[in-house]
Structure 1
Amino acid sequence: MTTAPPAVATYLDRIGVVPGPPDVSLLARIVRAHVATIPFENLDPFTHLEPPVDGADVAAKLVHGHRGGWCFEHNLLLHDVLRDLGYRVTPLVGRVRLGLDDDAPTTSRTHRLTLVETDEGTVTADVGFGGTVPVAPLRLVAGTVQPTAHGSYRYRRGDHGTWVLERRGSGGWLPQYTFDLVPAPDVDFTMGSWYLTRHPGSGFRNEVGAAYSADDHRATLDGNRLTLRYADGRTEQHELESASAVRGALEDVFGIDTAGIAGLEGRLRERHFS
């Protein structure tokens, strides 16, 4: 059995993955288990706290603190774990296009993901895109439909050397985000985190959200709406009627320890029940 560094071993224990050689199979198991175990959530920016941007602080929160986070945290944690396991990784930054038409204005560079070089080719790994996150590594090839346990994805080439990730939805292929292959320095992620935490128009600042992707369903929280989407096509929606009910869902459905988040219920009442 391959022995992982202590910090990596703790992470793998958190998500329930046995370490092994740094190959595509292990990468796929890590990505699948991560998105099923560590939730996406924006409770720090929602309550006007600065999310951590240092790797050790992110691990303390997501691995040890029974919290989740957003892309800057999830994909920093994954990047560092993969690097320490022996993968060849490159941090990338992209522009979110989810819900936008192709001719909509350019968005800011506020999504983190990881390029991984494997013996079977180049793939991307992303565990921080909320309710439509790919639950498997995706080969970086144009035009090939890549099925996963929760929907199909494909890449297409964009302008000026960019790549566009698309997901097949009920209305056809929908863009998720665009990115190029230029390695992103830490300052880009620090700036993106600062911007989305502090800008008055940031959705992360103004509406609570959470998500995870289990084997047979995805769960998402948008404001006070809890949605469960099952792999067999069934959907359940629940309108939560109080701030305490939302907090209860964050705890019970998403497994988030909210005890240390000062002012959470007051912020929920202010934004969603006033």
Structure 2
Amino acid sequence: MSELNALFRKRIGIAQDEPITFETLASVLEKTARAIPFENLCVIAGQTRDITRESLLDKILGKNEGGLCYELNPLFYFFLLENGFQAVLTRGIVYKQATQEYQSIGRTHVTILLTHEGRTYLVDTGFGANLPLKPVPLTGETVTSANGEFRVTKASCEHGDHVLEVKLKHKDTAWRIGYAFDSARPIADVSECNEIQTVIREHTESPFNKGPLVTRLTEAGNVTLTETTFTKWENGVVTKEGIDAVRFRELLGEWFGMS
């Protein structure tokens, strides 16, 4: 077993000898979402590194950090390959709910397409609190998980040939667009993620270079930490606490296992 495979299993709490099958992927995705936070602290601190298999292993599995989509999904992609799955990475463009338009910074979302028994599924561990927690078929079929309802519908637009739609539990009353992606344009090499990281780090309209953001799913909902607030969703009930820098560091350790 490779170091990446062993350390990933340790990080999310899966036995070293446990077989990972398509049928158990939902459990693996849930464990991943609860163990590894979606966070931009290296971007804010100006401490980003080139995206490679080795750097992702060191950052997320060695240093116990989290990451953004272009880090989390490539790492999970490598884990899938290690466990015998057929998968590729592809790029998407996120939809802005507030303005009802796609982000102007372009195709900066990285996600995974997995093929199993002739069918293709979307697998995503890097979409913040919007994670499907199950493989979503590219057929329009609705998948229901602890986090809500999800489906991938066909599209015909400049942004891609498919769209992920989400309806989060306790939050959404109607379907909304998550992001569009092109299933026919896989990422040729993980080094392509460096271009995405540069946009996220430097573009004036990037949503992730303005202030710290750390979030992960919990058994009852999710928790989100920013520079000034700590928000908890528990069984549909939301509580928000105003915080300072000292409290930020306390919560970062307490809820996310990071220093």
Task: Identify whether the pair has TM-score above 0.5, normalized to the shorter chain.
Answer: yes
Q: How many Å separate the matches in 1 of 2:136 and 2:254?
A: 31
Matches within 5 A, 1:1-274: 4-18=1-15, 19-100=17-98, 102-103=100-101, 107-119=105-117, 121-142=119-140, 144-160=141-157, 162-168=161-167, 169-181=171-183, 182-185=185-188, 186-230=190-234, 232-240=235-243, 242-256=244-258, 258=259
Q: Equivalent pairs: percent with the same residue?
A: 24
User: CA shift at 1:21, angstroms?
Assistant: 4.3
Task: Note the aligned Cα RMSD (angstroms).
Answer: 2.0
User: CA shift at 1:103, angstroms?
Assistant: 4.9
Q: Structure 1: which 5+ residue stretches go unaligned? A: 259-274
Residue-by-residue CA offset, 1:71-130 (whole Å, 9 max, x unaligned): 111111101111111100111110011425555565511011111112373211111111
Aligned partner of residue 208 in structure 2, secondary structure = helix
Cα pair distance change 1:216/1:93, threshold 3 Å: same
Aligned AA (2:165): E
| Structure with more helix by fraction | 1
User: CA shift at 1:59, angstroms?
Assistant: 0.9
Report if the CA contact (8 A) 2:105-2:203 is conserved: no
User: CA shift at 1:217, angstroms?
Assistant: 2.1
| Structure with more strand by fraction | 2
Report if the CA contact (8 A) 1:48-1:205 is conserved: no
Aligned AA (1:229): W
Instruction: Tell me how many residue pairs correspond in the alignment.
Output: 251
Aligned AA (2:75): L
Q: How many Å separate the matches in 1 of 2:210 and 2:47?
A: 13
Aligned AA (1:37): A
User: CA shift at 1:37, angstroms?
Assistant: 0.3
Aligned partner of residue 48 in structure 2, secondary structure = coil
User: CA shift at 1:27, angstroms?
Assistant: 2.1
Q: How many Å separate the matches in 1 of 2:138 and 2:18?
A: 23
Report if the CA contact (8 A) 2:225-2:231 is conserved: yes
